[in-house]
Structure formats: C-alpha cells, structure tokens
Amino acid sequence: MITALCGLGVAGARKLAVGRAYLLKQEPSFSAEPVAHPDAELRRLDAALDAARRHLERIRHQIPADTPAHIAEFIDTHLLMLTDSALVDATRDLIRDQHLNAGWALKLQRDILVQVFEEMDDPYLRSRGDDVEHVVRQIQVFLGGVDSDAQEFASDTVAGVVVVADDLTPADAIVLGQRGVGAFITEHGGPMSHTAILARSLDIPTVMGVHRATEILRHGEQVVVNAETGCVLATSDSETLAFFRRRLSSAEQRRATLKQLLTRPSTSRDGVPVVLLANLELPEDSAAAQQNGASGVGLYRTEFLYLNHTRAPSEEEHLADYLGILKTLNGLPLTIRTLDLGLDKNIQYLSDRLPPLTNPALGLRAIRLCLKEPDLFLPQLRAILRASAVGPVRLMIPMISTLNEIDTLLRLIQTTKRLLRTQGLKFDPLMPIGGMIEVPAAALMAESLARRLDFLSIGTNDLIQYTLAIDRLDDSVSYLYEPLHPAVLRLIRHIIEAAAKTRTRVSMCGEMAGDARYTRLLLGLGLRELSMQPGSLLEVKAIVRDSDIGALARTMDELMQGIDERSPQSLLERLAEAA
C-alpha cells in the first residue's frame, strides 16, 4: 500500500530523498490553569528564556566558519526576539496581571503577535509570524522542563532519515543539517519562511505544508520525498522503493556530472556562446550563484529591502546592500531591478500615503509607483548609480507599458546624475539602463523601447499571466498557465526580433529561463542570455553544451509557421530531435 501526501516543495540542487521517517515529538502543551504565585511563574519564564538563549548561542557557536553568513543571522534574529518587549514584557504582564501560568501566557501572547502577521497581505511579511512561533516554541520546550542537551540530535540517530514534524525552527534545521539528515517534511511553513531558506541553503530536500503528516506517517517507515513536485510517498513496497532509489542514485550521478561543468564554457556544439546568469531574491543568494558558475546576476529583486523596514530604506542602506553583492560577485555584472512593489504588500509607510487599490496587479506598482512617489524611488536610484562606480552594475525597470514612462524615467536619471556630479559623488556615466518586458503592450512595442534602452529582459511570469489573462496563483484557473501557448511564443519571438533589429541586448529572467524543458526552445527562438535561480544553472548549461543551436533555429522557424496550442509537447519533442 502506498500513501501519497502533497505539500509545497523546497528544493536546492538535491530534489529527491528516500529514507526512514523520524517523527519529532511535539512541544509540551499548556492549559489555562491559573497560578497562586505569579512571582514563581515569572522566575520560571526567566529561567526558560535563559535556557533558550544558551541553546541558540551554542548552536550559533557550532556553525562552521565557512557557512554563508545569513545562516548565522537567522539564529541572531531569534536571539534578539528573546528580548523583544512585545513578546517578553507583554507575557510578563499577562502572568502578573491575570495570574496565568507562564506557558499559557506565552501562548496567548504568541497568538496575538501571529494574528498581526497573518493579517498582512504580503506573503513574506506574513511568513515572519513563523519566527514568533519558533521562538515561543523554544521557550516552551524549556518551560516544559527539557534540558537543553536533550534537544540535540545524535548523528547516528538522524543521519539519512526523513524528519517529520509539525514545524521546524531554523535552529532545528541547522542542527539536523549538521547531523546529516536526509530530508524534511513539515505540516506548517512556507517557501518564504526562514526554515525554507535554510533548507535550500543547506541543500536538504524539503516538503512543507503537508497536512496531518505527523498523524499519517509512522515512525520508521520508508518515505520518498520529492521536493521538486512537493510529493511525499510512504510505502513498504519493495519495487516502488527500488525504483526511487535508482532515480536517487541516477540524480546523484547526474549532479556529480554537472559539477564537472562548472569551469567549462557555456557554448553550444556548433560554437554559439550562451550567457547564463543568476536571479537573486536576497543578497545571500549571491554565494549560491557563484557556486553554480553564474556569469553574473541577471535579476536582483530589491523588494526585500523595502519589506524589511518599517520605513522606506535610505540611500545609504540601499548602497550598502548593493556593494555587499558586488563584493561577493568579484567583478561579475549585477543587474538591479528597481522597486516592484504594489499596495497589495500592505506596507504601513506606503498605505499611509496612498489610497487602497481595487486590483493591485494592474494598479500602482513597479515603475508606476516609482514615478508617482519620487521620494520613495530617488534614494534607490541614487544608490544604484553610486554602486555603478564600484562595479559593473545595470539598472533594470520593471512593468513598462508605455514609451512615456521610459522617457520620464530617463529624464529623471539624467537629473539625478547632474545632482550627483554637483555633490562630488561618483557613478558610471555609461551604466546600462534596461527594461523588463512583462506585459503584451510592451512586447508589441519592443522595438520602440529597445531604441531608448540599452537592454531588454523578458519577464515570463507576468508576460504569460497577462497574455493569457489568468492569475497563476489562483488554483481555479492556474491550469491555463501555459508557457508554450502560441500567443506567448509569438510575443517572445517578436521581442527577440525587435532587439535584433536595433542591436539591443535581450535576455530572459522569468521562471521559463531556468526550466530545462524549455532551454532548446528558447535557444531556437534566438535567446543567447538566460537568467535563472542558481540551482538550475548547471542543468541548463548541460543542455546548451549538448545542442546544435543552428539546427534548433531552423526547426523552430518551421514549427512557428504552423504552431498549434493543442500540441505543446510535440513541439518540445521535435526540438529534442533537432538538437
């Protein structure tokens, strides 16, 4: 018998794992029973806080020196939260004023704080409620009388196992990762949680949001984790297990083979060079980009700078962020996408100054917001220009839909340059300025845009969504999201041809660029620069090196003549034959 469960996959280079399920025990539960002596409960709370702090400090001390800095920063964040008055002082007040026991008071205060995060529209900020949950759980474990040493996991116990838990704290993930755990399955958490980011960094296949996993899965049974699809299989069927172990072995051999491509050129069999760049969500991702052989950064999303502040970030904060990435890239180019933020993000300092939107996806976002709110945009623009004096920086504007927007923006950039000169601040006067083609109007106007810009980048996520008029996050219509729809392919080809006419550099930075199924198609359409999440770089490079781009281009020309939306798979099969 096979039990199949589904959740949200979080994959790095490793996407598959097979191993015994290891069910982590749940944290102690607490009741609303009042106490006669609140002072004693306050002392218990303080002791638990001290124990949690010592536990986190010990984990932080054990992190190897060569580990990416952001891994230790997650622990630092939780250490700071142990002293946060909104959590600790408010809990003390509940104990003192209402004679609650420490565990219950902590739970009540946690619920209040988590509710605040859950009411936020932005998924990143909403996921920060996980940090509150994780810190409270650390404290509650020690309130339940658990010694800190008992929270450690012996290597001979967890090496290679699939840990199943209702949730995992970043500290859990770090310790288990150091002990050689095979994979994670959690009932809670999402792809933007700190635990998810850590799992990717530690290259541990993870599936999150698997409802009732700790009830359904049994300790010790064999489990298959597919972090690419978000599927979990529990089975004792020997043939099924043998099948997935062969797949796992094949995948590991494939990874080893791909690693050999790190220093090889990204050039096709017929000698055509293809530039492969990385997309960065966070500055910390630049290390993964380098480890996977990226030729630079084709898209750095800067929204987290805005989301991580209670006010708009300053010019100096922007600059420090960009200089940090440039230092890591060590001379490789950095493409910085300017703010792509809409009022759907529910950021207080934005909401206070602008009216609510009825349709955020089509409203005041990206370049529209930047031009309307120069006070918000200019610090970023000045910082990008100043960073260009230090390393190879390109500025990229999202969500262009009219020529007037570009002309207005270019005038603003010229004004900013003049002001920087008068202030004696350095910048690269020839810093390339490009635009993202994400809406059909921009795609159809690509030639005119290209004549004004230094480069174009095709953002397929939004371009497909707006072309097909579907919300890709809406489960009821997401099945209509089809990168191979003839309308999408014709728009992509039109953009590439417009760029060729004007000798303008063109790249693709949407999800389609990093999906190895489409690499031959994109090469055949004429793209020679692709930007993707770092984990996809070597897989795409392997296909580039194994392709005859001339043959792909000829086949693609033929296929585009009679392209039919009912046969996207045959399109890929024909290209595979041509390569």
What's the rounded Cα separation, in Å, for the pair 16 and 27? Answer: 28
For 312, the token pair is 């708009």
Q: Catalytic residue among 55, 78, 134, 509, which?
A: 509
Q: 259, 324, 266: which is closest to 295 by C-alpha? A: 266
Buried b (16+ CB within 10 A) or exposed e, 422-455: eeeeebbeebbbbbbbbbbebbebbbebbebbbb
Instruction: Tell me which residue of 308, 294, 351 sits closest to 537, measured CA to CA.
Output: 294
| Catalytically annotated residue among 78, 194, 318, 370 | 194
Question: CA 481, 244, 534, 345 torsion: positive or negative?
Answer: positive
Q: Is 476 exposed, middle or buried (0-12, 13-18, 19+ CB in 10 A)?
A: exposed
Rounded to whole angstroms, the Cα distance separating 89 from 94 reads 9
Contact at 8 Å (CB) between 267 and 523?
no
Q: Could you confirm whether 194 is annotated as catalytic?
A: yes
Catalytic site includes residue 509: yes
Nearest to 555 by CA among 539, 519, 527, 579: 579
* Residue 202 tokens, joined: 């530690």
Contact 142, 47 (CB under 8 A): yes
User: Which distant-in-sequence residues (6+ apart) come within 8 Å of 291 by Cβ?
Assistant: 534
- Edge to edge, what strands does the sheet with 222-226 contain? 2-6, 231-235, 222-226, 16-23, 162-165, 183-186, 206-208, 8-10
Collect all residues with Cβ–Cβ distance below 8 Å to 486 and sequence separation of at least 6: 563, 564, 565
Q: Catalytic positions, please?
A: 194, 509
